[in-house]
Amino acid sequence: MTDRPVLLLDVDGPLNPFRSLSAGLRGYTTHRMRPDVWLAYRDPDSRKARRGARVRLHPSHGARLLALPFELTWATAWTHQANTLIAPHIGLPGDLPVVEWPELFVDDPDGLSWKTRALVDWAAGRPFAWVDDMITPRDREWVAAHHPAPALLLRIHPRHGLRDRDFTTLTQWAAGLSAAAL
């Protein structure tokens, strides 16, 4: 563990703009993958399951993420398969830490994302930034009230994925943490 803040990274939405209307997103490459979490909701004999999920990834995202002043951690339902299926296509190491979820897609009694409480527990008081397409104002309010350290919850539109402005926001937020420590 380092003194750097944690970047909690989702796959679908931030890295895979799965809601994009355009198959030809600039710079993205399309892959067919069969992650366990996706297959769990498909008939294994169906054409869709045999074909696999369409995943669009930008090969430069790995280098850009590694250049950020964060400790990268997967915070995705892809769990450890993010290291084996996603990381090689974008240039990330295949051994990034992975948040272990107590349960996937559980309904929260307060209307939070199913990830929110688990991420605050996992961060254990460390500063973190979380990039995800399912973040809501309710998640931001809850984290602000229940997490003792700075936290940035950055909602990424699932039609666009991570963009230049998101990398800028992450960089500036981390710089603000460093400046506050001085």
Q: pLDDT tens digits for the chain (182 residues)?
A: 458 999 999 999 999 999 887 656 788 999 998 878 787 777 777 877 777 888 999 999 999 999 999 999 999 999 999 999 999 999 999 999 999 998 888 999 999 999 999 999 999 999 999 999 999 999 999 999 999 999 999 999 999 999 999 999 999 999 999 767 64
Contact present, 93 and 77 (Cβ < 8 Å) = no
Question: How many CB atoms neighbour CB 3 within 10 A?
Answer: 10
Please give the model's pTM, rounded to 2 decimal places: 0.91
DSSP letter at 98? B
So where are the chain's domains? Answer: 6-17+59-181
> What top-level class would CATH report for the domain 6-17+59-181?
alpha beta
Q: For the stretch 150-170, what's the b/e string if a residue is b when 16 or more beta carbons lie within 10 angstroms of its beta carbon?
A: bbbbbbbebebbbeeebeeeb
